[in-house]
A and B are shown apart, each in its own frame.
Chain A
Amino acid sequence: MMRLWMAAVALAACGGSQESHEGHQGHEGHDMAKAEAPMQAEPLVREVKTQAGLYTVSFAAEPTTPGMGDLFSVSATVVDKYGNPVETGEVLLNARMPHHNHGMETDPLMDPGACDDDGDNCRHEGGVWKAEGFKLHMPGEWTVTIEVTGALGHDRTSFVYDMR
């Protein structure tokens, strides 16, 4: 298992990045939040393009609507702009509260995928990357960040999730 480490500086840079507008969630639900927030948190499920358009990521929590302060797993299915699954390279998944300037209080672990006997040459079949140990311990806006390094190069994206 590889410890997930992302520099706070790098993360701060994406704090201002735009929220994805390609989510599975309709806009109606989100706009309604301004007037009167929905009763339940939305599912933490999004489909997002990375900033330079190199990759598309289908991100999903398991369970899809995590409870406040509960541990949960996440998966990111990554394909490049030609539709090829990103099975090798690096995908980093993280979440932080930019307005509170803090990340998760846990130290999530990225699943290494299927590796050879030496633990090298790991492959994420179908471009599915998983991490365990996510926890959103406070209500409010969390920014989920996704960094992909694949054959086409490095690219990143983020989206906002409202924990309630």
Chain B
Amino acid sequence: MHRSLPALMLLAACGTQAPAPTPAPADDGWTPRQLKQLADLRLQEGAFGDPTNRFAGDARAIELGRTWFYDEALSPGGFSCASCHKPELHFTDALPLAVAAGTAGRHTPTIEGIQQGPWFFWDGRADSLWAQAMGPVESDVEMDSDRTFVAHVIREQYAAAYEEVFGPLPQAVREGDLPARARPDAGRPEGELHQAWLGMTETQRKAVTEVFVNVSKAIGAFELLAVPQPAPFDAFVDAVLTGDPSGGGHLSDEAVDGLRLFIGDANCVSCHLGPFFTDRAFHNLGLPEPGSSDFGRTTGASRLLASEFNCQGPWSDATSCEELRFLNPDFDDFKAAFKTPPLRNVTKTAPYMHFGGLQALDDVLEFYSELPSEPWTGHRELTLQPLHLDEAQRSSLVAFLTSLESGVRPEVLPVQAVAEAPAEP
């Protein structure tokens, strides 16, 4: 597989030349604009960083993060991140709504192809992977754990490994004189967890939060690695960009038809753009969600601004937070808008949408064909018009999306799974 980028550089150079008459493309040819679109969608090399997380890229922290991502001991009920983000399902769970300690209000999103940020969760209520990782731990319908429980587990099972990476465990945690479970719980101030939290000293609360932040930063550093691997589509693009308009046979004719629709008449690329096929922005699609009261990004933006774990908060390692600084929580189109999901491996992560209500990709394409429902609040993204795709077109789009399939990176699988994996034939 070609992974070098000379073609991209050539392409960039063309952009600076004087406009030349555009030759009409042959039937199987690609216009300069299409070539640019293909280059934009190709997977890029390079690792992702996180200025808010000083352990990003730290090999020991990443290894701990890998352990903790899969560690069911971090919650009293035996749930881990991987209970819902199952690596064999590309870090999803095949359920409409996430089910762990309870049933969550939204569908489990993949963690593949979300590394660009700047926003995390369907509603963007976190602005770093580590801050995102904290949410499910303390959600009573997800892992139903709490930072104090986590601090106990670290002290009892991981003290040496923790201290090697993050420095000494805070005194208050080392002493272990803490309630078994406690966390701030604004939603239930009279509840046991919140009351236990109020019963702790300020020093204890800070110590427990520090450990929880470090554990989350390790998990965040690990999740930065969960980028999709190159897919047949990328080999296709490489071939096209190096002068073979047929794409080296990496895509079937039907998939190429789907690709042309995707970047052409169907204009999926309007929002599904870049190497992970997402604009990283929020849109209200007007999905069929009778009875919904989910305000999506509107709530997410306010919660982010109020969070002590945001980029500007005391636990962040960032020196500047431009995205947060200019975030406008009152942006009207945030109402009932949700983050555009990445599309690599989308064929393996049904069901779909933030509410998990569309069973198959064909249902998604049928939705975009007809736009049969109206938003429960706000207004539908105006760029959306019914696509009226026929069966052959829908099938070609699915064929194209199938060309985005790739295997999960071995470095984000659980350690024992890699060890036990049968040798390649």
Interface residues, chain A, with chain B CB atoms under 8 Å away: 28-29, 32, 35-40, 68-69, 71, 99-109, 132-133, 135, 137-140
Contact = CB atoms under 8 A, between A and B. Distances in A.
B270 interface: yes
A135 B11 contact: no
Contacts of B381: 100
B331 A69 contact: no
A21 B194 CA distance: 63
B32 A139 contact: no
Contact of B280 (A28, A37, A69, A140): A69
B32 A138 contact: no
B4 interface: no
Nearest to A107: B328
A106 B326 CA distance: 5
10 contacts: A29-B19, A36-B22, A36-B31, A39-B32, A39-B33, A71-B322, A71-B326, A102-B333, A107-B327, A139-B270
A38 B33 contact: yes
Contacts of B250: none
Contacts of A101: 379, 382
A103 B33 contact: no
A100 B382 contact: yes
B332 interface: yes
B35 interface: yes
B364 interface: no
B15 interface: yes
B33 A37 contact: yes
Contacts of B379: 101
Given A36-B31, A39-B32, A139-B270, 10 more contacts: A36-B33, A39-B11, A100-B383, A102-B332, A105-B281, A109-B326, A132-B322, A138-B279, A139-B269, A139-B273
Interface string B373-405: 000000101110000000000000000000000
Question: Would you call the interface of chain A mostly helix, strand, loop, or mixed?
Answer: loop
Given A36-B32, A105-B333, A133 B325 contact: yes
Contacts of A100: 381-383
B323 interface: yes
A68 B32 contact: no
A106 B35 CA distance: 30
B127 to A, nearest CB: 13
Contacts of A103: 331
B270 A135 contact: no
B303 interface: no
B113 to A, nearest CB: 15
A105 B282 contact: yes
Nearest to A28: B19
B334 interface: yes
Interface string B317-356: 0000011011110111110000000000000000000000
Interface string B219-238: 00000000000000000000
Contact of B281 (A69, A99, A132, A133): A69
Contacts of B328: 104-107
Nearest to B31: A36
B271 interface: yes
B14 interface: yes
B106 interface: no
A35 B22 contact: yes
A40 B15 CA distance: 6
Interface string B273-286: 11000011110000
B36 interface: yes
A13 to B, nearest CB: 18
Contacts of B35: 39
Contacts of B33: 36-39
Contacts of B282: 105
Instruction: Specify which of A28, A32, A101, A139 lies most central, judged by the most chain B CB atoms within 10 Å of its CB.
Output: A139
Nearest to A1: B325
Interface in B301-328: 322-323, 325-328
Contact of A71 (B11, B31, B280, B323): B323
Interface string B1-34: 0000000000100110001001000000001110
A48 B15 CA distance: 25
A39 B11 CA distance: 9
Given A39-B32, A39-B33, A40-B15, A137 B279 contact: yes
A126 B330 CA distance: 34
Nearest to B33: A37
A40 B36 contact: yes
Contacts of A39: 11, 14-15, 32-33, 35-36
Contacts of A138: 270-271, 279, 281, 383
A36 B279 CA distance: 23
